[in-house]
Structure 1
Amino acid sequence: MKSIRVLLADPQPLVRAGLRMLMEQFRGVSVVDEIGSGPELLEILAERPPDIVVTEMTLQGGTALDIARRINRHLPQVKVLLLSAQIDNAQVQAGLRAGVLGFVSKAAEPAELEIALRAVAVGNPYLSPQLARFAIDRRRSRQDEPSVILPTRQREVLQLLGRGKSTKEIAALMGLSVKTVETHRSRLMQALELSNINALLHYAVRHELQAGER
């Protein structure tokens, strides 16, 4: 199994030390760098990008959202997981738009962090159950996202993507081939005018959270 390389960003040294000790207990996970400031994080990303950046919302000299936007633009293979003590509805929404793939509360159990890391590592979105009440604001979503009528199969694929299912899992659940699911994904991106799979995953999470509010 390929090792998951993590860059840990948090302004508090003691928090970083504790998180590092925890994550290095997870099989196949290694913390390759730890930093406390935004500029230092960007410098390390340019030199030796990890698989996942696990970051607090606010860093010295920058924010996780600013960094996520840059990563999404220049290093789309690097995933971002936001780990914070306080995350509200606006921050979840802003994080999704910036390119954050996972959200975990610092009040979560240690096992949940491992689950989130493994989900994000393979490109699946993750939202901590403690944060589920911070659902996406429906009015702003309706203003910013295109109104599109999707075929039934594509709606089902979108829903399963929003629930964190992988392409293989969706194929098994729907009784389809992996290639057919990939075709549905491509057509979804075209219909929703999304440029890449990360953008589709973020849209799917917002769509699922919004549906859960109804």
Structure 2
Amino acid sequence: MVTRLMVVDQHQLMIDTLDAWLRSNAPDLVVTAGFISVPSQLQQEALAGLSVTVAVLGTLDHRANLIPAVRQLVQAGLRVVVLATALDRWDAGAVRSAGALAYVPKAAGPEHTEMAIRAAASGQEYLHPDVAAGTEGRTAARIALSPREQLLAELYLGSDALSVRGVADAMGISEQTVKAHLHRIRQRYATAGIKLGNVISLRKQLSIDGWIS
């Protein structure tokens, strides 16, 4: 059975390289369409004409575009595989929360990409072993965060921090909801006996406790 793919990566060379490798090693996985960015008008009707079922999402212009891109592809009815430029366990959790089925670092090689695509085509999740191992041994947190809170904290206070507006857009929520989540996280620390008076101290504590990068 042939699985037809749409590949999105800002580098055309990556699209062509993946296409060539699949043609030689996995001819039942066919790259039907390639784009350097997610099309602005991505509708199920248009995809039906291409018979595309899986989207492989690679490098985008900005990291902040990753979660919205995953959501857009999922909403269009596609099963999404994310090919990461570099291994990042926070991105791995974020894209899976957004609906992606698979996450693979590009450096892992095309064999792992193939396994991820096959898993996604079957509706199964695939997380590269190195990514899964990266979640082990994390510093024990003093407070508990839900996956959604963890994503929000990483987007707002992590190494590639966004504004409140940017976090709201990335997560599809209001700015007020972002602020409410941050307030609850700060309150949770206060209950644990740790008073955090500003954003800098909150960022430092979340980093110490292993919640953000």
TM-score (norm 2): 0.57
Give the secondary structure class of the aligned counterpart of 1:133: helix
Contact 1:104 1:116 survives alignment (8 Å):
yes
Q: Which residue of 2 aligns with 1:48?
A: 47
- 2:23 is the counterpart of 1:24: yes
Q: Which residue of 2 aligns with 1:199?
A: none
Looking at structure 2, the residues matched to 46 and 85 of structure 1 have their Cα atoms a distance apart, in angstroms, of 31
Give the secondary structure class of the aligned counterpart of 2:13: helix
Looking at structure 2, the residues matched to 141 and 42 of structure 1 have their Cα atoms a distance apart, in angstroms, of 42
Q: CA deviation at 1:43?
A: 3.4
- The one-letter amino acid of 1:84's match is A
Q: Which residue of 2 aligns with 1:113?
A: 113
Alignment of 1:1-80 (within 5 A): 1=1, 3-25=2-24, 26-38=26-38, 40=39, 42-43=41-42, 47-48=46-47, 50-59=52-61, 63-72=65-74, 74-76=75-77, 78-80=78-80
Say which one has the larger Rg.
2
Q: CA deviation at 1:109?
A: 2.8
Contact 2:83 2:105 survives alignment (8 Å):
yes
- Off by >4 Å, runs of 4+ in structure 1: 59-62, 136-142
Structure 2: where are the runs of 5+ without partners? 149-213
Compared CA separation, residues 140 and 36, structure 1 to 2 (3 A): farther
Q: CA deviation at 1:23?
A: 2.1
Q: CA deviation at 1:30?
A: 0.7
Q: Which residue of 2 aligns with 1:126?
A: 126
Contact 2:55 2:73 survives alignment (8 Å):
no
> Which has the higher mean CA deviation after the structures are superposed, 61-70 or 9-18?
61-70
Provide Cα deviations, 1:78-108, integer angstroms capped at 9, x if missing partner: 1000012213121111111111110111111
Give the secondary structure class of the aligned counterpart of 1:24: helix
TM-score (norm 1): 0.57
Give the fraction of aligned pairs with identical amino acids, expressed as a percent.
23
Looking at structure 2, the residues matched to 63 and 140 of structure 1 have their Cα atoms a distance apart, in angstroms, of 31
> Which has the higher mean CA deviation after the structures are superposed, 84-93 or 53-62?
53-62
Contact 2:43 2:76 survives alignment (8 Å):
no
Looking at structure 1, the residues matched to 129 and 109 of structure 2 have their Cα atoms a distance apart, in angstroms, of 11
Q: CA deviation at 1:59?
A: 4.2
Contact 2:10 2:61 survives alignment (8 Å):
yes
Q: Which residue of 2 aligns with 1:100?
A: 100
